[in-house]
């Protein structure tokens, strides 16, 4: 199964131990937060992990109802612990390689460092499913690990985040920014752009057009 390492407590533990240490990450996440409307009520997080992004968004969105999807039991256990007693958050076990389950409509769909584990074909079809379940005017914000244009830049990124290249996730299927922005435009998203980028960390955003009239 692609991404199988995420189902082990060891891999999950190593990631969570250093999740706050990635340079510039907080900056990218705060730009994501700026583009999710404060009054967004239903927010879906794809590959939620321990619920890091839902927790950040929930700080100044008291009315928000969040749904976090992930296929990793150890991650979901960490998310359950984080959100214990918080009825605003629902956690759903789901493999993103499969079509999204019926979850209703959302004002925002977010994702952080997760979709790059899917095949390119599935990334594109998932973006299409996201478009369908967004409300008109809704935002898709994908804070993502993207491909560098050259091997040298890829090596430099790993040096910059202080991780040996050998520790690269075996399931990483990195894709360049331009291809992904092109797909979002083809699918009908408006205002598509890379809103923030540092080396291989990028924030890709598109807005589903609002209904006219």
Which one, 39 or 166, has the nearer CB to ligand SAM?
166
100 sits near ligand SAM (criterion: CB under 6 A): no
User: Using CB under 6 A, which of 112, 141, 184, 201 touches ligand SAM?
Assistant: 112
Alpha-carbon distance of 186 to 166, in angstroms, equals 36
**Beta-strand relationship, 190-198 and 201-207:** antiparallel
> Binding ligand SAM by CB under 6 A: which of 42, 43, 100, 117?
117
Q: How far apart are CA 162 and CA 14, in angstroms?
A: 14
The helix or strand, by DSSP H or E, that contains position 144, with its residue range, turns out to be strand 134-145
Helix pair angle (73-82, 9-18), 10° resolution: 50
Under the binding rule (CB under 6 A), the answer on residue 15 touching ligand SAM is yes
Cβ(116)–Cβ(142) under 8 Å? no
Instruction: Name the residue with the smallest CB distance to ligand SAM.
Output: 49
Q: What are phi and psi of 117, to 5 degrees?
A: -85, -5
116 binds ligand SAM (CB under 6 A): no
Binding of residue 31 to ligand SAM (CB under 6 A)? no
Q: 3-state class of 147 per DSSP?
A: coil
What residues numbered 66-95 form the site for ligand SAM, per CB under 6 A? 70-72, 75, 95
113 binds ligand SAM (CB under 6 A): yes
Give the footprint of ligand SAM on this chain (CB under 6 A). 3, 6, 15, 19, 47-49, 52-53, 70-72, 75, 95-97, 112-114, 117-118
């Amino acid at each position: 199964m692609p991404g199988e390492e995420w189902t082990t407590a060891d891999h999950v533990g190593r990631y969570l131990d250093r999740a706050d240490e990635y340079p510039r990450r907080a900056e990218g996440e705060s730009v994501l937060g700026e583009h999710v409307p404060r009054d967004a009520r239903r927010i879906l997080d794809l590959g939620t992990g321990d619920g890091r992004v839902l927790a950040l968004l929930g700080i100044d969105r008291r009315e928000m109802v969040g749904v976090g999807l992930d296929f990793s039991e150890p991650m979901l256990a960490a998310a359950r612990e984080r959100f214990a007693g918080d009825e605003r958050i629902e956690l759903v076990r789901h493999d993103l390689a499969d079509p999204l389950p019926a979850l209703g409509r959302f004002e925002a769909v977010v994702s952080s460092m997760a979709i790059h584990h899917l095949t390119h074909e599935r990334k594109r079809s998932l973006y299409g499913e996201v478009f369908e379940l967004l409300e008109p005017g809704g935002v898709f914000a994908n804070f993502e690990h993207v491909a560098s244009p050259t091997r040298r830049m890829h090596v430099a990124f790993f040096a910059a985040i202080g991780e040996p290249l050998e520790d690269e996730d075996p399931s990483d299927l990195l894709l360049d920014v331009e291809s992904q922005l092109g797909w979002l435009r083809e699918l009908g998203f408006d205002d598509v752009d890379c809103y923030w980028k540092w080396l291989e960390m990028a924030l890709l955003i598109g807005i589903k057009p609002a209904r006219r009239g």
